Each structure stands twice: as C-alpha cells, then as structure tokens.
Structure 1
Amino acid sequence: MTDIFPAVMEDLQFCDARGVVVDSPPGAGKSTLVVRAARHIAETGEPLAVVAQTNEQVDDLIANLARSSPTLPIGRLSAQNYVPVPRIATHNNVTVDTAVAGLAGAAVVIGTAAKWSTLNQGAWPWAIVDEAYQMRSDALLQIAGRFDRTLFVGDPGQLDPFSTVETERWAGLSWDPQLSAVAVLLRHNEVPVHRLPVSWRLPATAAPVVSEAFYPFTGFTAGTSLSDRSLTFSTHAFGASPVDSTLETAAATGWALHELPARHSMRTDAEIAQACADVALRLLARGPVAVSERARTGAPVTADRIAIGTAHRDQAAAVRQFLPPDSGITVDTANRLQGREYDVTVVWHPLSGRRDATAFHLEAGRLCVLTSRHRHACVAVARAGITELLNAHPSTGRVYLNEIVKFPDGWEANMAVMSHLEHHRVSAS
C-alpha cells in the first residue's frame, strides 16, 4: 500500500503553495499522520504550531505526540481555568501555559483555534491544522497570517462547522464564514490535495456502506478483511428477547436496526432512550469479546469501548437516565463524538419518530459521524417509518447563486444508509 506521507511533506516544504490539504475518511490514520508530521517538522529544529478545534482534540494530540516522542518539548496553549487531564499530566515533556511566552522552550505548541486567535503577536514557519473541516473559515482568517506554511488535515464527510446564529446573509459568498476553512482555502487558492484511501477503523462490513453513502467521489476501502475481525459473546446462548436478537444480528453482520413501532414522538422519546440503554447494557451483560488485528486471541469489550450517539444533547441526557451512574458507557452527541473510536456503537437515528425531515436531521455529516465510530458493530435504534418519511420529504432546501454544492446530498445519504439497515432489521415489538 502506498505511503502518501513523503509526498505530503515534499509538497508542504517545496511546492509554491503555502498550504497542503490531506483528506481522510473515518479511521484512516489522520491522527497518526498529524503526529508523524509534527515529529518530522520538529526534527528540523524550527518551531511548529498545531491548531485543533476542541480541548479534547488538543489533549488527544498531545498525549499521542508525547507518547511517541517522550523527549520532545511540547507546549499546551490553554485557557486560564484549564486543569491538565491525567493523560497530559503524566508526561514530563509537556508544559502548560496560557501564553506563548511561557512555552518558549517548546518545539511544538498545540492549542485550540479559539486560543490561537487571542494572540496579538508571534509568527511560526510551520503549522498543522487538525480537523480542518470542522474549522470555520473566519477562524482560519484570524490566524492564517501567523504561519508561513500550513498542513490541513481533516475528514470532508464529517459535520460542517457549527454556528448559533443565522448565516443565510452570507450564503453564496466565496468567503462565507460558515463554510469550512478547507472549502474557502480551496476556492481561493491552488493547493495540493492528498487523500488517505484506507480506513483502519471501520471493518470490512462497514467501509463499503459508509464510503458509498458519504464519500461518493472519494471512496475508500477497509484496511482489514472480513476474516480479520469478529464479535462473539462469553455467554453463547442468546435469549428470545428482541434485544438479544439485535445483538446477535450485529455480531454476525456488523449492523443491526433495532426497530420500535411507528409513532410520531417527542424529540426525547423515552422508549427510544430506554431501548438504546437496554441494548448497551445487554451487550455488556453478554460478555462481548472482540477479535481483531490488535487482539488475535480476543479482547473483552469493556464499557469504555461502547458509545451511544444521539443528534441532540437532551436525547443524550434522556439515555443517561436509563443507565447506572457508573456504567462507564459513553453517551454523547454526534458533534462531540467526532474523531473518537469504539468497538460497538448504538445510534439513536436522527429521523426516528419525526413528522418531518428538516435540514438539521438530514445533515449527511451527522449520520456519517454516528455510523462511522465503530470497529466491530453499529446498532441503529429507531421507530419504523423512516423510509416512508424520507419519501414524503424530498430535499427542498434553498439554492443560492455561487453556493458550493456539498456532496453527498443529505437525503440521498440517509436513504442509502436506511436501505442497508433494512436488511438487518429486528422488530422490537
């Protein structure tokens, strides 16, 4: 398999453009590439700035870089109230400060885009922007002038940048601040674009589905085969309950649709919330064992390797009410699950129980995140009738002159995923 890293670094160092873009599908080794690039640049002796979008992403990057290079001086640019998390505090080569001046000895300085934007002086010859498709273009505009050459790494299929204000007034403008940093960068500049073609997270049962639904023009394949991974249970005999049947289907095929009776419901549908919790808790009770290229003899799937994903924060809160306080199972929204990885995920389908299919709930990136966090199996929990809902609500969003057309269309992506899930349906009634 071709290693694109040498070509990426050659373009970054020697091409005429001041930037290079690397597109990465889910689990394609984006974090590994960022760490590798950071180490490569640090070895030149020139200072490097790394920009991430959230504090969680910053801490993950620092932990990975510090683990791979225990003698490399790393600076964590933070807010006043930041308290180093355990995975950061255990590394002696990491310094935390609220100002760049306090990190003068660091070869690599890492912080959020929001923190970098507060600086009023300083320049760096090299920069890496991680999760660049999550970054708004106006956030890049505030800091781009401080960096001579920048490597942009991200996943074009994930959620677009988020805004709490109406952005319609800028729609169609080439510098629309709601567009991702990469979208505006590519619209105004000729920069090299490289692509990672293989997902090492998604199993062979999932990569073709996610690739076809969300990456129609830049498809990818799984780095493992069907025989490389399996999900079994310490307690082999399944009961007769629908939840057990759902888990059996998920273990055998990598997918399951746990379908409740059709009904228009509130957004915080208590029955769906309980069903999500029941599936996750029953999974733990069965003693799941995951066999993979990382664990040839099998490794237990513990609570921290299971996630329940929702579209809304109040839905996540509703699910938590049906879980023990110390369950250890991650429950969060798609926005906060971006970039994270689990063995098994349970997904509260965004269109479950709805009367309409709004642009928010049809957002392709949201469903892409929810269905691409797993290494072994994904269980979708929903009420019946989603296909009928999609057929009754074709895409009717406004079209603006000069607006960048985003692929794939949310309606088409949802329909593609639903068509696949229907082959793995288990009735919960």
Structure 2
Amino acid sequence: MSVVAQLKEFLYGGDRLCVVKAPPGSGKSFSLVQTLAAVVGTDLRVVVAAQTNNQVDDLCAQIAQAYPKAHVARFSSGRYNGTVASNIEILSKVDQLPSGPSIVVGTVSKLAISTFDQSYDVLFVDEAWQMTWADLLTLRDVSARYVLIGDPGQIPPVVTVDVDRWEVSPVAPHRPAPDVILRNPELSRITTLLELDTCWRLPYDSVSLVQTFYDFTFGAHAQPGERFLRAARSLDSALVTDRAIEKLARSSTVVLTHPSDGNDAASEPDTELAEVVARLAVRLLELRCVYAADDGDADTPRELAPADIGIVSTHNLMNTAIENAMPAALRGKKGIRVTTPERWQGLQKPVMIAVHPLSGIARPSSFDLETGRLCVMASRHRSACFFVTRDNVGRTLDAHLPNADQALGCHDIVGRGHAQHTAFWKYHEERDLVV
C-alpha cells in the first residue's frame, strides 16, 4: 500500500500521531496534497502548516490546482501581499476562518500566535524536521491529531539560545519535533511511522551516495545512465575543469581539487577557490554542455543555461566572493543562484557546484562536520554535482580526532559527522572521482 493510501487510512483511524520520513526529492509536499483528496468533499476541517511563507505559497498553489472546488484559506498576516489562485481566500484573523469543512494553510508562527475556538480534525506539518519540539507544542491547541512529514537528513532547526540544560531531556525543546517523537518511548508507541521509498530527483548513483545519511532505505526513480551532463564540444585534458567533466561519463558526482597554499588553512573567504568555482561554471557553458534531468530527456538532452546551474557554500562571505568572481552576465535573477545550504533546502537544479564544507579547514568544528549541510549539498542536483575544494580534505579527516564532548546519554553528533564526511570522501577516492 502506498504512503498516500496509508495516510488516508490514518485520517479516518484512531491514532493521534503520524510521522512520515522522506528522502530528498521524494515528493513530500506532493504526497501531502494527494492525501487531501480524502478530505475534500467531507466534513473534515484540516490545517496545513509550513515553516516559511514561500512554502505556504507553494502548498496553496498545489492545493488550488488539485482541488479547484475545495474551500481553501491562506491564513496570513494582515501585511501579506502575495498572489494566490482565485479559489484561495486570504484571511488574517481567526474569526474570519471558515467554521465548516475547509483546508487552512499557514505558517507555524502564524498558527502559534492564534487562539482557535474550535479544534481542527487534523494538522499536517510540512518540512517537519525544520521545526523544533518547542514549536510543535505551540500548535497543541490547533488539533489533537498530527501528521508530520519531512526529510530527516536536512539541517536541524537553528536555535539561538543556550540549550545545554536540555541536552539529555527526552523531550528536548530544541530538537526536531519528529526526532523527539520517535526517540521518546511513550510517544513513539502511539505513532504511525511511514517512509517514502523513492527519490525522484537524483541520478541513480547519487541515491546510493546520499542513502548513507539516512536510517531507512529508499531507491531511485532514475535508471543507471538515464541522467547525465555531457560536453558538446571537445574537452581539453590540460584543464582540471575538463578532467572533472570527463569523470561524469561514469558518475553523477565528482570532486575537483585545488592545491592548498601549504598549511591546509585557507583564508576566509577563499577568493582563489571562488575563482575556481566561477571558472567551472563558465566552462560548463563554454562547452555547450547538455543534460538529461527528466524522463525522456536522454534522447533529446537540453542545452545548459545559466539558470540551470546552482552554487552552494556554507558561508555567506564565500558565496559573495563567488558571485564577485562570476561574469556579470551570469548573475541576477536569470543567472546562477549562489547561496547557503539552508536556503537551498527544498530547491533543486539540473547541475550543482558545491564548495566542500571542509575546504581549507585544518581543524574542523562541529559546524563544519554537521551532516545536514553535506547531505543538502549532495542532494540538490538532477543531473550532476561538482564538489570543489582545496586538496586538504582527506588529510584533515585522517588527522582529526573528534572530541566526544556530548552530554552523557546523547548521540555523538560530531563523531557521526566525522564518519559521514570520511565515508563521503572515500566514496569518491575509491572510484577515482577526485581530480
């Protein structure tokens, strides 16, 4: 039985909690919207919560298209001036919300500051691993039944206060809400756990690479060789960029290295590496590269355009340096998007260029070794992904001994990060994918 079918069963069952684990590009929001088919035309009142206004807008657009006759309201602030479909109401006050069968869509923060006279039948939370347990508790009066769907490999929620006192708590307020539920025996016992089992975004071999970040198994929709990036013009083996592109004939990911300056610690930002990243992007366009990213593309691949390329780095200063190194024609809204992994969550491009998180770092911090950022960086592409880095990464990982400084009883997040980074690097080394 499909996850959507099981979610529909949950809606009419007696369980109060449902958690859906989803790999990247598995159609989380699509599955949520498809599940709402069991709601439309019934007496159920449903709320759909998302983490950002952009996510709410996307959900509203999908729901409006799928169910043009459903009663749908976008619950927003009075200052909201976005554009929604004609069959979506924009409402800002609780007393304006429909009292009968309906679907209400809003951000977690908007719902948290609202007081509802009547509880809803079920609350769906999209991108739930981006929400803390404390945030979920603010929604406890919205409904008595919850469906949390999200990607457990993503970057955990950003918390700006000291959380040391809660590190060993079974209901730690700063942890992702689904993690708290699944790790707490009392909560997990009453939770329906489902898993989406297909990644629709990534090439076949990239799914095997990303699988190591997850504690459940999933497969690739794409078949071997079905997704690719190829140069339409002759490659020059004297250029490191071209040698990296050549490796894509047998892999969808490759690592392009640049010599360290002698001490394995690069400046911040690393303007020299930023120029390498910019040259790679320019070279892909000079070579008139073509790519296959969807079913049927293999026979008629598309020519790569600037808007088909994305660039990601963990630091804003580095992203600015990369933008400054790129030709003016490649910048702007129709050009190459350059931003952090946090802002790439939920997005995708045919081709990604990622600055490795450990590039130029001799003594990695817990931030550098955090697995969510590496997972996001390695899972945004549909055809190919280049990791660009100083050549220190292997040496840094071999020399680094993670400090087991976590609180007693807590998971060793830094140790896990070191192990994941090491496995990721060795995956490419063992397959001769490091140039």
Q: Distance in 2 between matches of 1:426 and 1:409?
A: 23
Asked if the contact 2:310/2:353 (under 8 Å) is kept, the reply is: yes
The residue type paired with residue 54 of structure 1 is T
Following TM superposition, by how much is the alpha carbon of 1:307 offset from its aligned partner in structure 2, in angstroms? 1.1
Q: Deviations over 1:236-290 (max 9, x none)?
A: 2123422222223235421111101124112311122222222223223333322
Asked if the contact 1:203/1:226 (under 8 Å) is kept, the reply is: yes
Distance 1:79 1:294, change over 3 A: farther
The corresponding residue for 2:49 is 51
The corresponding residue for 1:39 is 37
Q: How big is the alpha-carbon RMSD for the aligned residues of Structure 1 and Structure 2? A: 2.2
Following TM superposition, by how much is the alpha carbon of 1:406 offset from its aligned partner in structure 2, in angstroms? 5.8
The corresponding residue for 1:286 is 287
Corresponding residue SS for 1:35 = helix
Q: Distance in 1 between matches of 2:43 and 2:121?
A: 11
Pick which of 131-140 and 403-412 moved more: 403-412
The corresponding residue for 1:118 is 113
The corresponding residue for 1:11 is 10
Following TM superposition, by how much is the alpha carbon of 1:3 offset from its aligned partner in structure 2, in angstroms? 1.9
Asked if the contact 1:309/1:316 (under 8 Å) is kept, the reply is: yes
Q: How many residues align?
A: 418
The residue type paired with residue 309 of structure 1 is V
The corresponding residue for 1:25 is 23
Pick which of 73-82 and 412-421 moved more: 73-82
Asked if the contact 2:230/2:249 (under 8 Å) is kept, the reply is: yes
Q: Distance in 1 between matches of 2:253 and 2:366?
A: 25
The residue type paired with residue 193 of structure 1 is L
Aligned positions of 1:319-338 closer than 5 A = 319-323=322-326, 324=328, 325-326=331-332, 328-338=335-345
Q: Distance in 2 between matches of 1:350 and 1:333?
A: 11
Q: Distance in 2 between matches of 1:375 and 1:72?
A: 33
Q: Deviations over 1:110-166 (max 9, x none)?
A: 111111111022421111101111101100001123212211101111111111222
Following TM superposition, by how much is the alpha carbon of 1:408 offset from its aligned partner in structure 2, in angstroms? 8.7
The corresponding residue for 1:195 is 195
Q: Deviations over 1:8-34 (max 9, x none)?
A: 32134214x311111011112212111
1:395 matched to 2:421: no
Q: Distance in 1 between matches of 2:4 and 2:324?
A: 45
The residue type paired with residue 336 of structure 1 is R
Distance 1:14 1:416, change over 3 A: same
Aligned positions of 1:150-189 closer than 5 A = 150-186=146-182, 187=184, 188-189=186-187
The corresponding residue for 1:418 is 425
The corresponding residue for 1:135 is 131
Q: Distance in 1 between matches of 2:138 and 2:152?
A: 22
Aligned positions of 1:330-409 closer than 5 A = 330-403=337-410, 409=416
Aligned positions of 1:66-81 closer than 5 A = 66-81=64-79
Q: Deviations over 1:208-239 (max 9, x none)?
A: 11112x12x31222112113223233x32123
Q: Distance in 1 between matches of 2:404 and 2:322?
A: 31
Q: Distance in 2 between matches of 1:29 and 1:249?
A: 30
Corresponding residue SS for 1:317 = helix
Q: Distance in 2 between matches of 1:424 and 1:56?
A: 40
Q: Distance in 1 between matches of 2:354 and 2:401?
A: 23
Asked if the contact 2:404/2:412 (under 8 Å) is kept, the reply is: no
Distance 1:298 1:107, change over 3 A: farther
Following TM superposition, by how much is the alpha carbon of 1:369 offset from its aligned partner in structure 2, in angstroms? 0.5
* Correspondence for 1:302 among 281, 301, 305: 305
Following TM superposition, by how much is the alpha carbon of 1:336 offset from its aligned partner in structure 2, in angstroms? 1.1
1:315 matched to 2:318: yes
Gaps of 5+ in 2: none
Asked if the contact 1:77/1:97 (under 8 Å) is kept, the reply is: yes
Sequence identity of aligned pairs in percent?
A: 30
Q: Distance in 2 between matches of 1:281 and 1:40?
A: 49
Asked if the contact 2:129/2:177 (under 8 Å) is kept, the reply is: yes
Q: What TM-score does the superposition give when structure 2 sets the normalisation length? A: 0.89
The residue type paired with residue 125 of structure 2 is V
Gaps of 5+ in 1: none
The corresponding residue for 2:233 is 236
Pick which of 137-146 and 250-259 moved more: 250-259
Asked if the contact 1:251/1:377 (under 8 Å) is kept, the reply is: no
Q: Deviations over 1:166-205 (max 9, x none)?
A: 2212111122111111122231412010111221111112
